[in-house]
Structure formats: C-alpha cells, structure tokens
Structure 1
Amino acid sequence: MSKLSLRALNRATLVRQWLVERRPATALEAIEHLVGMQAQVPLSPYVGLWSRLTDFKPDELAGLIENRQAVRGSMMRATIHLMSSRDFLAIRPLVQPCLDREIYQNQTLGRHRLDGLDIPAVLAAGTDLMAAGPKTAAQLRKGLAPLFPNHEPATLAHAVRSLLPTIQVPPRGVWGKGGNPTMSTADLWLGAPLSPNPSIDDLVLRYLAAFGPASVADIQAWSGLTRLTEIVERLHSSLRTYTDATTGRTLYDLATITLPDEDLPVPTRFLPEYDNLLLSHADRTRFLPDPTRRALTLTETLTRGSILHNAHPTAFWKLTRQAKSTTTLEIQPTTTLTNQAKSAIESEAQNLLTFTSPDASHELRFIT
C-alpha cells in the first residue's frame, strides 16, 4: 500500500472539501456533497458555503431553509447539522443509535432519570404537542410536565428532541432573522417519513468522498457510530487502501478518486465555528499538527472561526456589529505571521466583510 504523509492527507481532504478552489455549484449540491454542515451556530454554514462556492449569496441558503429543501436538526455526533431534506430523511435513521446513547447512556441527562418512565408515551405526547405547531424546548417542558409529574420536565423534553427526528424550523438559521430554537418532526415539517431502507454503505462511501482518505476510527468519529469495521470490510473490494506514513494506520478511499500533489498550493480560507473539516477525523493531525494541538485546546479551535493559511489554522476570527453602521472583524493569530501571510489574510478578510456586511462600513483589527 502507498504511504501518505500528513501533507498528502491535508491536500487530499482540502480538495474534496472544496477549499482549494471554489466550485460553481449550488448551495444544495454543496450541502449534500459535504454530507451536511455543522450548524450549532445557526449562521455558520453561510460562511462555510461562501468559502467553498463561487458567487454564493445568503439568500440562496435562506430560501432552501424557508422552502423546506434544507433543514437543521440533530444528526451526526448528536449535534445540529444543516442537511438537505432528502439527506435528513435518509441519514437520520442511520445515526439514531448515537442519539439513543445521548438519552440512555448520558449520566447527567438520561439514564438515572428514566426509571419508570414510559418513553413511547413521552414521544407520543411530544408528537401531539408539535402536531399543533412547532414548539420551543420551554413549550415542550410545559406541555409534558403535567403528563409525567414524577420526572423532570427537562429530561422529558430532551428525550423528545433526541429520540424523535426533530428539526429546528425557521426563522432559526435564516440569514438576517433569528429566534429561539423551535422544533417540529421530519414527517410533520417535510410531509414525508424517514427512509425505511437507509444505506450505511452509502453513508460510509459519501464520507470518504468528502473527508477521505480515512481510517475506520475517522469514520466513526465523524458519524458518532461504532462497529463500522465490518461495513468497511464489506466495501473493501470497491475501495483503495493507503498507509498513514506517520501512524501506520490503514486508510480507505474511493477507488475512483486520484489524490492531488501534496505540494499543491492552498489559498487562505475562513472557516466558521465548528466547521466539520476540523471535527471529522479521530486523528486531526492532518490539519492540526502536534505543536498546534498542544498549544490550543479543541474548544478554542472550534468555538471560534478559524483561518486556514498554508493549509492549517493560523488565526481565529470574530465578527462584531456595532449598531448598524460598522462591522468589525477581529483576527487573533495563533502563530507569528509573515508579512505575506498577513497580506493574504487581510485580503480574504476584506472579502468576508463584503459578504457578511455589504451595506456597512468595515473595520479590520489584528489582536494579540
């Protein structure tokens, strides 16, 4: 098997993440290619799409959400993802075991608080409440509490959110709008049931197309699922295998994909908070080399926007809006920047300001 350096893995994944060259695709095509986008921060996918697509405008994604072609709901790793509606219906049944663990094995939120609770009855009651209209968590707690007085309302609402295929409906996630997370279920909101025959094989292949080459542990880290070795072994004849030159791990990839040159130049790109590029491998050293990992906690890396320069995170970024007239973009380097690096970051920063705040005045500030 060919050996792949961290640099080779870095370039391979950046190319298929559409971060080396912006693509002339639609937002829906991008969301499906990426097998969803992390969306705990409701507006982060807009920046993620802007960094990957040519001529992307916020109204395109806002329209997909308002027209129910795309949805935000709990998916991989029991976290909120933006998905196409058809992918949500096809993939949610596959990742349900991860959401089940969130309820039944979570010591704080689940297992010890479920004794004697009729879970099917709770889910039926939650469905009835949402059938009358989308509900916030507070409304679910209020509606469920009288029906199950011996259990904490927060536990009841959390069970409904995790065990039912809930979706956070607009205006949450719509550019220029806001509001508390308000939930419905997939069948109520989309008028369609979850797929009765979801394909785990297809999910693994789509992950590799967007994040490979990767190990079984990487696939499991991304999906939140376990015991995927037998799935990969079943697909082995249609996959190409490599060896990680650093760890000796076996890596898998689609046989149809040719890897780019590991010296491929990579432009500066802005990633939003929690971008899946930095979340979707058990071994993240292809993007976060050991010195960087030692210097930065994962929380620091993910809860702020990251700036990729020379293919690695080199700075954090944050936008603040002062009244309605000025948008400030703060950049905090995590390493010493050369003049060339600072110039490249400044150029892309100005593009980001134009994208996010076309009608405001702009201020760019480097902080330490």
Structure 2
Amino acid sequence: MTVLDTRALNRATLARQLLLDRADMPVLDAVAHLCGLQAQEPQEPFVGLWSRLRAFDPAALSDLLTGRRVVRTHLMRRTVHLLTAEDVLAWRARHDPMLLQRVLGVYRRELDGVDLDELAEAGRAVLADGEPRSMSELARAVAERWPEPGTRALGEVLVAALVPMVQLPPRGLWRTKAGVRNAMVSSWLGRDVDQASSDGSDPVGQALVRRYLAAFGPAASADLRAWCGVAGLPAAVAAMREELVSFRDERGRELLDLPGAPLPDADIPAPVRFLPAFDNAILGYHDRGRIIDDVHRGLSVAGERVVLVDGRVAAKWTVVDGTVVVTPLRELARADRTAIADQGQELASFLSDKDSDRVEIVSR
C-alpha cells in the first residue's frame, strides 16, 4: 500500500481546500465544495473565501445569506457553520443524535426529567408565528412550563439540538454586527429537513464520506469523525469500500480517499495563505500534523488566525488599528517575510475596502 508522508498529505490538503491555487469558482459552489465554513465568528468566513477564491466579492456571500441559499446553523461538532441550504436540509437529521448528545454532555443534570419531545414541540409552537427570536427569548417563552433547568439549558438544547434552526441575517453579513436571531429551518427555507432513511441504509452518511474526502482527503476514519462529530460512519465507510482507495501515512494509519482525487507532487511550491479563526483546513482533522506542528496545535482551537508558509502554520495574524500584524512562530527566511508582507498588504486592502495596505511583521 502506498505511503503518503506528511508533506504529500499537506499538498493534498491544500489542493482540496483551494489553498494551493485560488479557484475560479462561484461562492456558492465554494461553500458547497468545502462542506461549509466554521462561522461562530461571523466575519471569518469572508477571509476564508478571500484566501481561496480569485476576485472574491464579499457582497456575493452576503447576497447568498439574504437570498436564503446559504445559512448559518449549528451542525458539525455542534459549532456554528456557514453551509448551503441544500446541505443543511440533507445533512441535519443525520447530525441530530450527535447534537443532542453534545448538549446533554453539558446540561444533562439540568435537563434531567424534562421530556425533550414535549420541549421540542413547545419550542416549535413558540416559533410557529414566523417571528425570529434570540435564544434567551425562546427559553423564557417555555420556562414557565419547565422552570427548573434554567433558561441557558433550555435555550441551548432547543436552538442547538431539538429544533433545526438557522441564524438570520443581518447576522453574518459583510461588515455587519448583529445579535443572533433564530428561526426554524422549515420557516426560513420553506420545507422541513430531510428525514433519515428508514430501511437501515445510510445514504446521507455515505454522502458525507464522499464530500469530506473530496475536500479533506486522504484522511483516516478518525479524521472524518473529528470533522463532523458524527458516530456511526464506520458502517457507511464499510458499505463504500469498493469505491474507495486506501493509503497509509507514516504512522501506519489507513487513509481513505476517492479514486482520482487530486494528489499534487509533494515538491510543488505552496504560496503564503492567511487563514481565519477556526478554519476547517486545520480543525477538520483528528491528526492535524499535516498542516500544524503539535507544539502549536492549541492555536487552532483558541481562535487564533494563522499564516501558512510553505503550506504549514508559521505565524499568527491579527488586525490592529487597520494594520495587519503578523507574529512569526519561528524564524522566517527573507523571501518568506516578503511573501507574507505582500499577501498581508492585499488582505489589509480587502478588509479596509482598498483604503489601506498596512502590514507589520513582528520581529522574533
């Protein structure tokens, strides 16, 4: 079996994530290809798409949100993601057990004795008038019937697990600050989410495997689960064995992939790329060693924005008074600093609508 070393996996990841070459792709197609973008920080997906698409216009993403073709919702790993409406409708029911399990992992004691089916029905009744509500407003509306759990537990389990919901614009629009207002998926998108198969097959699970490998492969089963948080996908993988190909990594783990999927030469140059907070190019794996050193792994869950140099995390970045400030994590060659400065200036112009190109690289 072919062994793929870390550098080969890195180049495959960059290619699948549209980070090796910026893509000429409509924004909706990019969101679909990437299986969504993590979006609990509402402005971060704009940077993620700017780093991946040529001539990215942030207004195009805002228009998709207001046009209900892209939505913000809790899904993979119970985190807020920006996904196509089609994917939310198709995937949500397959994620329901995981979403509930993760909420109960935090609030099981508070929700002990609550009939969750009755709570879900009460939540739907509150939202049936079509008016969007904040999580606290929704929780207060049902708290008279269930006073013991507290509004935080009631709100979390309703919004993130029991009732499929989306966060409505203006939340998530370009350069817009707005609180979270929730509506039922069925109200916002005009139909209910697709129901799970009743014949014992798992077509949605198999679709998740294919889509994940197209955007993140080659990858191990543990990586797949780390990305979506869904249990039970080994059965879907087993049913697909004949259509998948296998590799090994340097640790001997089996890596699954789609036949004919991009596997660039490991020596192909990788350009500098600025990634937003919580980018799935890093978080989409259990073993993140293909793109970030173990010593820096904590950055990926701490909300730090990072810079890729030669395909690997080599610096952090932030914006201070309109200046993109880059803090290296290791010594950088002069050519790398120049490339970071060039990309940083482009990013500063994008973030400031062309009226600034200020970038500062902190000395080590």
- Provide the rounded CA distance (Å) in 1 between the counterparts of 2:300 and 2:262: 34
2:132 match: 134
| Kept in 1: contact 2:77–2:227 (CA 8 A) | yes
From 228, 242, 246, the counterpart of 1:241? 246
Cα deviations across residues 136-166 of structure 1 (Å, max 9, x unaligned)? 1221232222222233111111110122111
The answer as to 2:175 corresponding to 1:170 is no
- Provide the rounded CA distance (Å) in 2 between the counterparts of 1:144 and 1:68: 28
- Provide the rounded CA distance (Å) in 2 between the counterparts of 1:98 and 1:202: 17
- Provide the rounded CA distance (Å) in 1 between the counterparts of 2:281 and 2:262: 20
Moved more, 219-228 or 16-25: 219-228
2:57 match: 57
1:263 match: 267
- Provide the rounded CA distance (Å) in 2 between the counterparts of 1:129 and 1:329: 45
- Provide the rounded CA distance (Å) in 1 between the counterparts of 2:290 and 2:138: 42
Name the SS of the counterpart of 1:135 in structure 2. coil
Residue 116 of structure 1: how far off its partner (Å):
2.0
The one-letter code of the counterpart of 1:25 is M
- Provide the rounded CA distance (Å) in 2 between the counterparts of 1:300 and 1:45: 15
The one-letter code of the counterpart of 2:73 is G
2:285 match: 281
What pairs up with 1:192-271 in 2 under 5 angstroms?
A: 192-196=191-195, 197=197, 199-244=204-249, 246-271=250-275
| Kept in 2: contact 1:330–1:364 (CA 8 A) | yes
The one-letter code of the counterpart of 2:312 is H
Q: Please, which runs of 5 or more residues in structure 1 have no aligned partner?
A: none
Cα deviations across residues 253-272 of structure 1 (Å, max 9, x unaligned)? 00122411111111111100
What pairs up with 1:22-171 in 2 under 5 angstroms?
A: 22-104=22-104, 106=105, 109-132=106-129, 133-162=131-160, 163-171=162-170
Cα deviations across residues 11-62 of structure 1 (Å, max 9, x unaligned)? 0111011101111101100000011111011011111111111111110000
From 337, 341, 346, the counterpart of 2:341? 346
Identity %: 36
From 334, 339, 364, the counterpart of 2:359? 364
Q: Please, which runs of 5 or more residues in structure 2 have no aligned partner?
A: 198-202
Residue 103 of structure 1: how far off its partner (Å):
2.5
- Provide the rounded CA distance (Å) in 2 between the counterparts of 1:179 and 1:130: 20
Aligned CA RMSD, in angstroms, stands at 1.5
Residue 302 of structure 1: how far off its partner (Å):
4.8
2:200 match: none
Residue 363 of structure 1: how far off its partner (Å):
2.8
2:180 match: 181
Q: For residues 227 and 95 of structure 1, do their structure 2 counterparts lie closer, same or farther at Cα, with a shift above 3 Å needed? A: same
- Provide the rounded CA distance (Å) in 2 between the counterparts of 1:331 and 1:131: 48
TM-score, normalised by the number of residues in structure 1: 0.93
| Kept in 2: contact 1:169–1:181 (CA 8 A) | yes
| Kept in 1: contact 2:143–2:151 (CA 8 A) | yes
| Kept in 1: contact 2:12–2:264 (CA 8 A) | yes
TM-score, normalised by the number of residues in structure 2: 0.94
Residue 330 of structure 1: how far off its partner (Å):
1.2
- Provide the rounded CA distance (Å) in 2 between the counterparts of 1:75 and 1:317: 27
Residue 357 of structure 1: how far off its partner (Å):
0.8
Name the SS of the counterpart of 1:147 in structure 2. coil
| Kept in 1: contact 2:70–2:85 (CA 8 A) | yes
Q: Which structure 1 residue ranges, 4+ long, deviate > 6 Å from structure 2?
A: none
- Provide the rounded CA distance (Å) in 2 between the counterparts of 1:249 and 1:54: 35
| Kept in 1: contact 2:205–2:233 (CA 8 A) | no
- Provide the rounded CA distance (Å) in 1 between the counterparts of 2:300 and 2:190: 40
Cα deviations across residues 70-111 of structure 1 (Å, max 9, x unaligned)? 00000110100000001111111111121011233x1xx321
Moved more, 195-204 or 36-45: 195-204
Q: For residues 313 and 302 of structure 1, do their structure 2 counterparts lie closer, same or farther at Cα, with a shift above 3 Å needed? A: farther
- Provide the rounded CA distance (Å) in 2 between the counterparts of 1:350 and 1:319: 12
